[in-house]
Chains A and B, each alone.
Chain A
Amino acid sequence: MDIPVEISHGVTFAEVPVKELDASNAGDLKAAMTPILERSAKVVLDLRQMQFVDSSGLGAILSCLRQAAARSGDLKLCSMSRQVRTAFELVRMHRVFDIFETRDDAMHAFNS
């Protein structure tokens, strides 16, 4: 999986490049995120393209958070669609992530 990355004000923005994150590509996301999380302690995962996530996809995103935490970093989320938000709420994952409307909001949260 080829993840577009941008760095701004010390925060790395990574955009999930698929509409559907499920068992078929959740492993790819984890693999692609590992080097990003190794390089940066402040990462924002931008979910603007995602319209669907299943339990494997949720597991992959949670795994990214744990990787970040293990390196004393943090992973925040932004630009989540209503459908994806519903899936997060379903499993109570919205309680373990900081979730923001926009990239700017997430960046300010890191830098405030």
Chain B
Amino acid sequence: MSPSVVAPEVAFELEESIRWHGTHSLGRSWNSLTPYGRFTAVALAVRDRMMDRLLETEERYARNQAKRVYYLSIEYLIGQSLGANLRSLGLYPACAHALKSLGSSLPEIEAVEPDAALGNGGLGRLAACFLDSLATLNIPGNGYGINYEFGLFKQQIDNGEQHELPDNWQALGTPWLIARSDEVCMVPIYGRIEHSVDRRGEYNPMWMDWKALIGLPYDMLIPGYGGRTVNFLRLYSARASREFDMRIFNDGDYLKAVEEKIQSEMISKVLYPSDAVLGGRELRLAQEYFLVSCSIRDIVRRYEKDHGNFHEFSSKVAIQLNDTHPVLAVVELMRVLIDEKDLSWDEAWEITQATFGYTNHTLSEEALERWPVSLLNRVLPRHLQLIQEINRRFLEHLTRIFPGDATRARRLTLVDESEPAHQVRMVNLAVVGSHSINGVSPIHSHLLSTALLSDFHQLWPERFNNKTNGISPRRWLLHANPALAQLVSASIGQGWITDLNELRRLDPLAEDASFRTAFRDVKRHNKACLGAYVKDLLHETLDPESLFDVQIKRIHAYKRQLLNVLHIVHEYLGVVEDGTIPLCPRTYILAGKAAPGYWLAKQIIKLIHNVSEVINTDPRSRSLMKVVFIPDYRVSVAEKIIPAADLSEQISTAGKEASGTGNMKQALNGAVMIGTYDGTNLDICRAVGEENAFLFGLQAEAARALWAQKSYRPQEICDRDARVARVVDALRSGLLCRHEPGFCAWVLGLLLDSADEYLHLGDLPAYLDAQAAVSAAFVDRERWTRMSIHNVARIGDFSSDRAIREYAEQIWNVEGI
């Protein structure tokens, strides 16, 4: 049945179910429910339907004695679930119909749902897309994470400055989380090692005087497309081990008891923003360990239900580590197998290595996790012992292969003793403890093997592989862009929803004038929808005929929002100083959050607002260009912006972005990319055709050489290129900081510093040239539409379904059941 056809009995049942939950779960008639109450009633009705499928799915997995995949991630950027779940279950039209009968509307109800923002950006969103694909491919795969009470902060802009507000996303309760209080687990933490001998006289370290936390699991159901399979994401909340420490309570120190309870529960209280200085943060270490300890205990418990020993563990369990945050899982599994299950070290190590796969997400040395030995010793004394033993055995192995090579050993050791405060290198632990190490784009994987982890690659080349990231077609086209999804389905059928390469069949339609017209109509409709949102939010009017030039991502120096601003200033100066009329009017749309402690990123937001104020109020420019910063960027906002984008800005410094997925999302929605040779930009460009994207700037090797050889000379670039000089002069003149003289000093300092590792001016001339080419292409609407259609048609390889199939076949050895 076509998804737009409504079976009356399905709609009626759903309506009854919604009413029932209003009355029996919430104690209100439909008409007296608050908007959030109505959302909750609808979500509970949908959840009921997923529960049935969940039980069926679990039975099917058990019947087939299926190998299971567990995805461990400290972040999941889920966004809203109602619309996406309804579409996956094929119930969207029926629900819309049911709500119409109830005198309401589905979009209204959907808008009430708060985003589950349990992540900062790409890493967390990737995890969410992967869960969608696991379920759609019928793979027995569950995620494990933390049920943060406060998700990523809400961003409020006052006077151009970012302010952070807490995101208490569960304040009104969330219908998607199902408490599993019968599966709580106890998590020991802190304490000391008591060195003793066992009954046989062998060394027996005992972990004594620990404090106990309780991990309370909540399951979020993840339906695959079509609803045959429903997997779950298990999120843990920390609870104090006893509601009150009775001894303290009895002694009358009630406040101390409450304080200790609060301290224990802090562990799942808040998501750390990225770019926060995490090294040495005890609470962050406790968070990572809490996730790991709960997950491993749950995984082992599940395995032991069907198995009497651990011989088959790695053939029944695969665990994927999403970056190094959950890498203590390697140590925790070793601890469980050795300490609790009495396996020998060699047996336990073989199982552990065969079980874990590790995905690296960064090439930046500074971003690699390290934990001080002293902190580990205090928080996790037994784990530190095990890390030291893993390291001792690893270094012995190294010495056998490279005898006498002490320098190599110092580079590879898990415990860095070069600093006075010894540190454990978590990336080295991940590599040593896993049978597979993957990067997330070809260039990133290449750089891992040849630079960051080259010594390890030399040691174990067979462990290294690439798994290019992907995005969910359900979330990022079917759900985010229903107008385009409908056009695509009407043209080539619905096969693309689960096989994104089917989109290739759109390719010839780029030459079909009527399809191009329909395609343009969809884009215009989406631009108008975004315009309405912006009008409502910011009281700014957007011209849907203008080129929507979009850069939406975390604000960070390496992502180079500043480079975008320099181009905007260049265009503005052309208008006001040269009287140039741009080839096409542009609307520059930016959005993203700056980490609260990241001064530079916050200054960039302020600069964007300054530039916006100047340009949007200048009568000479305001009909030709507009700059809009959309506040509080999150998944649900991305779903509004991306379908409306004409131009996708992917302009990070080459060699800095591991993959990026915003580039894929925008291409899937018909935006043409202007991008650097970074992450997957080149791969996308090759896929969609070089003539359908605008690549520019330095390549990663050249950028690295400039940096390494200290041969970057921004002032010389200024001297050589009048366009660059004019932009720099404008910043210096105070043109862009009318109300705050001197505000732009930091920009000049950064741009003209030969130590600017992001090479802003190094890429600016090429960027300006590429932008000129963009404008020339956009004014030819037919040409641009063709380019846009080719982007959609040829992006199929960047589906998360493809990525998950590769993980399943090449790393996990699992299949759909």
Contacts and interface: CB of A to CB of B under 8 A. Distances in A.
Asked if A and B are interacting partners, one says: yes
Interface of A: 22-24, 54-56, 58-59, 62, 86-87, 89-93, 95-98
A59 B199 CA distance: 17
A24 B251 CA distance: 10
A91 B209 CA distance: 10
B247 A96 contact: no
| Band of interface residues on B | 20 to 34
A95 B205 CA distance: 10
B242 A95 contact: no
Given A22-B242, A24-B246, A90-B339, 6 more contacts: A23-B246, A23-B247, A54-B212, A55-B211, A91-B210, A97-B199
A62 B188 CA distance: 18
Interface in B174-213: 186, 188, 191, 196-199, 204-212
Nearest to A85: B340
B250 interface: yes
A22 B250 CA distance: 13
Interface string B198-237: 1100001111111110000000000000000000000000
B253 to A, nearest CB: 13
A55 B196 contact: no
A90 B205 CA distance: 11
Q: Which 8 A-B pairs have the closest CB atoms?
A: A95-B198, A89-B340, A24-B247, A24-B246, A91-B207, A55-B210, A23-B247, A91-B206
B464 to A, nearest CB: 35
A80 to B, nearest CB: 14
Contacts of A22: 242, 246-247
A55 B204 contact: no
Nearest to B211: A55
Given A24-B250, A54-B241, A96 B212 contact: no
Contacts of B241: 54
B331 to A, nearest CB: 14
At the interface, is chain B mostly helix, strand, loop or mixed?
A: mixed
Interface string B235-257: 00000011001110010000000
Nearest to A24: B247
B245 A23 contact: yes
Contacts of B196: 96
A54 B501 CA distance: 56
A90 B242 contact: no
B245 A92 contact: no
Nearest to A89: B340
A23 B212 CA distance: 12
B208 A59 contact: yes
A21 B186 CA distance: 15
Contacts of B208: 55, 58-59, 62, 91
A41 B204 CA distance: 24
B476 to A, nearest CB: 44
Contact of A92 (B210, B212, B247, B339): B339
Contacts of A96: 196-199, 204, 206
Among A56, A87, A90, max chain B CB count under 10 A is at: A90
Contact of A90 (B188, B245, B246, B250): B188
Interface in B121-136: none
Given A23-B245, A89-B340, A96-B204, A55 B198 contact: no
A95 B199 contact: yes
B603 to A, nearest CB: 49
A92 B209 contact: no
Contacts of A55: 188, 191, 208-212
A93 B206 contact: yes
Contacts of A87: 186
Nearest to B335: A90
14 contacts: A22-B242, A22-B247, A23-B245, A23-B246, A24-B247, A58-B208, A86-B340, A90-B340, A91-B339, A92-B198, A92-B205, A92-B207, A96-B206, A97-B199
A81 to B, nearest CB: 14
Contacts of A92: 198, 204-207, 339
A22 B249 CA distance: 13
Contacts of B247: 22-24
Contacts of B212: 54-55
Given A90-B188, A90-B339, A96-B198, A59 B204 contact: no
Among B191, B197, B340, max chain A CB count under 10 A is at: B340
B56 to A, nearest CB: 30
Nearest to A26: B247
A15 B242 CA distance: 24
A89 B339 contact: yes
Contacts of A91: 188, 206-208, 210, 339
Contacts of A97: 199
A94 B635 CA distance: 49
Contact of A98 (B188, B199, B210, B250): B199
A90 B198 CA distance: 15
A91 B336 CA distance: 10
Contact of B209 (A24, A59, A90, A93): A59
Contacts of A89: 339-341
A93 B435 CA distance: 32
Contacts of B340: 86, 89-90
A8 B340 CA distance: 33
A93 B340 CA distance: 10
Interface in B310-355: 339-341
Among A55, A86, A87, A91, max chain B CB count under 10 A is at: A91
A55 B211 CA distance: 7
A100 to B, nearest CB: 13
A53 to B, nearest CB: 10
A91 B190 CA distance: 12
B694 to A, nearest CB: 58
Contacts of A98: 199
Contacts of B341: 89
Contacts of A24: 245-247, 250
B252 to A, nearest CB: 13
B665 to A, nearest CB: 45
A87 B212 CA distance: 11
Contacts of B245: 23-24
Contacts of A93: 206
B733 to A, nearest CB: 67
A90 B196 CA distance: 15
B278 to A, nearest CB: 28
Contacts of A62: 206, 208
A77 to B, nearest CB: 12
Contacts of B188: 55, 90-91
A89 B197 CA distance: 15
Contacts of A23: 245-247
Nearest to B197: A96
A59 B194 CA distance: 11
Nearest to A87: B186
Contacts of B207: 90-92
A63 to B, nearest CB: 11
Among A22, A23, A58, A92, max chain B CB count under 10 A is at: A92
A98 B199 CA distance: 8
A23 B253 CA distance: 15
Nearest to B247: A24
A110 B210 CA distance: 32
Among B186, B250, B341, max chain A CB count under 10 A is at: B186
A83 to B, nearest CB: 9
A92 B341 CA distance: 10
A89 B247 CA distance: 25
B437 to A, nearest CB: 30
